[in-house]
């Protein structure tokens, strides 16, 4: 089994001729076609169905134009701090001054797809010292669940980490101080993009350095001194991010720790490959993972030892980490998302004939086209929901307060199972929750679940709007509005529900088709204004309180 686990330089020296790519031009052309194909769905959708994306878009719109807007400037102000989660806040507002908000958003989404995929290819290239068409299979992990949930900062950060690790391995033996300089820039960038990117970069570099040190002469004093110098140089890029973290508000954040079920843990292992249709996702990825398993079983594979260690550590961390900690959600699920990219980067088939290579490459190319084509179709069909929300919210007055609620699965499981594919990600998460962002994007109004938590985003909600800001990232169940007493946990996430009819001007209900009799919901408090597809808008009846008048 030892022959399967070769150091990166050994593979380069002993590579078998059958697995070589005959033409560099063909390989580079294939890489270019792969990356171009990843962007195809972005041309089919002005607003892709990615859960958090509309919310991020609205916040960045406020950062770009809020100070100069007479309405938005009364609601929000920029609040820049040392926050390890601001990749798109640094990129997107600047792009919005050049392009329209929706075009700028899709440019950044393209980076979210291209950076991790190309980074995995680059990492594999430097690990094995050769080109292989297998490296292009990293594209199968691009449309992973966390990307579809709109975790844009995270996606950009792991792309930076993969490229940074590739740079470290490439330069470390050639020019150590160049590697340190590049590593420092990468570590600082990864910290600000998303702290998980910094962790991922440190993990990749650390695993590489472990095996270089172990392969040295640790039995002599000189060997141990050399190992210490290597470890110290690898740690230098992490010093500044560590000091930044100590000064960041995240270091002082305390929050409840929440764990997920073992069943969900197992299912979430497939996060790198899940999307909008579980059967199709399994159909596409099963041959790819099956080929990988076959090659390992038959000893027809090289496996990078650093990446093998990295994969083991990611799996271990996934098993022990909670789902929520320090106000961050899906913490454990980020491990398999990283694993999806390094799995393709740290493995290389060998002993495969030219004919077999051609057949396998053709099959994988077909599966990839099916995957991208399906995502394109789903994104295009999702624009119906976008249009319905924008048409409904066009009735909202600027500077209004809009309460947003959801019709969840528990209220109508049959409808939830039958609703359009674009509204749900493989039994894991709805995608429509933050379409309420058009309240701000189109109408310059306020809704409570905008991403504006002080320790996590560089934006602050001003008083008196701040009194209606919620801590939850999802809209409440619309039936909570009719409840007399809510559990303490629900009130903690949705404090604005208390006396809601005196605090808001409008109610926007999402996934409205799933409600049995929404048109007659709380008729003494609500007046239906418009209802189209996904969205229903109600005007809240009653005399305007002094508080609501002050918000005008």
Span 528-546, pLDDT tens digits: 999 999 999 999 997 554 4
Of the candidates 211, 302, 214, the one whose C-alpha atom is nearest the C-alpha of residue 12 is: 302
pLDDT band at residue 326 under the 50/70/90 scheme: low
263-292 confidence digits (pLDDT tens): 888 888 899 999 999 999 999 999 999 999
Query: How many C-beta neighbours within 10 Å does residue 151 have?
Result: 27
Run of H or E including 117:
helix 101-128
Tokens 């020296």: give the residue.
Answer: 13
Please give the Cα distance from 421 to 227 (Å, whole number): 53
Helices 334-345, 152-172: axis angle to 10 degrees equals 40
pTM over 0.85: yes
Among 519, 144, 151, 199, which Cα is nearest to 336's? 144
Q: Is the pLDDT of residue 11 over 50?
A: no
pLDDT category at 152 given cuts 50, 70, 90 is: very high
Confidence of residue 251 (pLDDT cuts 50, 70, 90): low
pLDDT, position 122: 97
* Contact yes or no for 46/102 (Cβ under 8 A): yes
CB atoms within 10 A of CB 409: 17
Helix, strand and coil content of the chain, in percent to the nearest 5, comes to 60, 10, 30
The closest alpha carbon to 190, from 205, 201, 182, belongs to 201
pLDDT at 3: 44
pLDDT at site 549: 54
Q: Where are the domains of the chain?
A: 2-38+80-352, 379-550
Give the pLDDT band (50/70/90) at residue 408: confident
* β-pair partners for 348: 302
pLDDT at 16: 42
Alpha carbon distance 484, 487 (integer Å): 10
CA angle in degrees (0–180, nearest 5) for 388-391-393: 105
Structure-block tokens of residue 183? 């590593």
pLDDT beyond 70 at 128 = yes
pLDDT at 322 over 70: yes
- 3-state SS assignment for residue 348: strand
Q: Three-state SS across 244-277?
A: HHHHCHHHHCCCCCECCCHHHHHHHCCCCCCCCC
Percent of the chain with pLDDT over 70: 92
Instruction: Please indicate whether residue 354 or residue 96 has the higher confidence score (pLDDT).
Output: 96
Query: Which contacts of 188-191 are long-range, i.e. CB under 8 A and separated by 24 or more positions?
Result: 188/240, 188/241, 188/244, 189/160, 190/157, 190/160, 190/161, 190/164, 190/241, 191/84, 191/241, 191/244, 191/245
Assess contact for 138 and 117: CB atoms under 8 A: yes
Predicted pLDDT at 392: 97
Q: Has residue 426 got a pLDDT over 60?
A: yes
Render 474-536 in DSSP notation, one character per residue: SPPBGGGGG-SS--HHHHHH-GGGTTGGGT-SEEEEESGGG-SSGGGSSTTTEEEEEEETTEE
Could you tell me the two tokens for 198?
């910094």
**Rounded mean pLDDT, 440-467:** 90
Query: DSSP class of residue 545?
Result: P
Q: In 3-state terms, what secondary structure has residue 303?
A: strand
pLDDT at 327: 65
């Amino acid at each position: 089994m030892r022959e399967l686990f070769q150091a990166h330089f050994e593979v380069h020296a002993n590579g078998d001729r059958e697995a070589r790519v005959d033409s560099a031009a063909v390989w580079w052309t294939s890489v270019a076609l792969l990356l171009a194909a990843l962007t195809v769905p972005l041309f089919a959708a002005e607003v892709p169905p990615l859960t958090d994306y509309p919310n991020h878009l609205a916040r960045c719109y406020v950062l770009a134009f809020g100070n100069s807007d007479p309405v938005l400037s009364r609601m929000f102000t920029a609040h820049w701090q040392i926050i390890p989660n601001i990749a798109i806040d640094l990129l997107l507002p600047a792009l919005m001054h050049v392009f329209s908000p929706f075009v700028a958003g899709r440019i950044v989404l393209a980076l979210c797809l291209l950076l991790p995929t190309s980074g995995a290819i680059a990492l594999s290239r430097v690990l094995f010292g050769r080109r292989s068409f297998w490296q292009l299979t990293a594209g199968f992990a691009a449309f992973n669940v966390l990307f579809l949930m709109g975790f844009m900062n995270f996606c950009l950060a792991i792309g930076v980490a993969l490229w940074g690790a590739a740079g470290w391995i490439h330069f470390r033996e050639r020019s150590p101080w160049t590697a340190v300089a590049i590593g420092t820039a990468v570590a600082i960038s990864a910290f600000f993009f998303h702290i998980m990117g910094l962790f991922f970069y440190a993990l990749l570099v650390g695993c590489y350095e472990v095996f270089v040190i172990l392969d040295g002469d640790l039995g002599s004093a000189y060997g141990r001194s050399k190992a210490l110098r290597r470890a110290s140089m690898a740690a230098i890029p992490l010093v500044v991010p560590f000091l930044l973290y100590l000064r960041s508000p995240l270091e002082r954040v305390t929050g409840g720790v929440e764990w997920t079920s073992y069943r969900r843990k197992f299912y979430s292992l497939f996060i790198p490959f899940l999307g909008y249709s579980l059967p199709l996702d399994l159909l596409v990825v099963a041959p790819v993972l099956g080929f990988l398993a076959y090659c390992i079983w038959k000893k027809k594979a090289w496996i990078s030892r650093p990446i093998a260690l990295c994969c083991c550590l990611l799996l271990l961390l996934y098993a022990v980490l909670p789902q929520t900690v320090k106000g961050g959600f899906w913490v454990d699920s980020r491990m398999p998302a990283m694993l999806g990219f390094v799995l393709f980067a740290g493995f290389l088939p060998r002993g495969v004939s030219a004919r077999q290579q051609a057949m396998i490459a053709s099959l994988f190319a077909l599966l990839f086209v099916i995957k991208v084509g399906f995502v394109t179709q789903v994104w295009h069909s999702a624009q119906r929901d976008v249009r319905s929300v924008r048409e409904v919210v066009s009735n909202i007055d600027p500077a209004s307060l809009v309460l947003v609620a959801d019709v969840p699965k528990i209220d109508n499981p049959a409808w939830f199972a039958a609703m359009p594919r674009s509204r749900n990600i493989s039994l894991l998460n709805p995608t429509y929750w933050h379409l309420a962002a058009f309240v701000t994007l189109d109408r310059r109004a306020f809704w409570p679940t905008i991403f504006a938590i002080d320790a996590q985003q560089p934006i602050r909600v001003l008083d008196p709007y701040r009194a209606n800001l919620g801590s939850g990232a999802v809209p409440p169940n619309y039936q909570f509005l009719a409840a007399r007493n809510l559990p303490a946990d629900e009130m903690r996430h949705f404090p604005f529900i208390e006396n809601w009819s005196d605090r808001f001007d409008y109610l926007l209900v999402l996934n409205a088709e799933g409600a049995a009799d929404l048109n007659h919901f709380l008729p003494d408090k609500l007046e239906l204004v418009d209802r189209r597809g996904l969205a229903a808008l109600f005007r809240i009846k009653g005399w305007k309180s002094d508080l609501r008048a002050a918000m005008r």
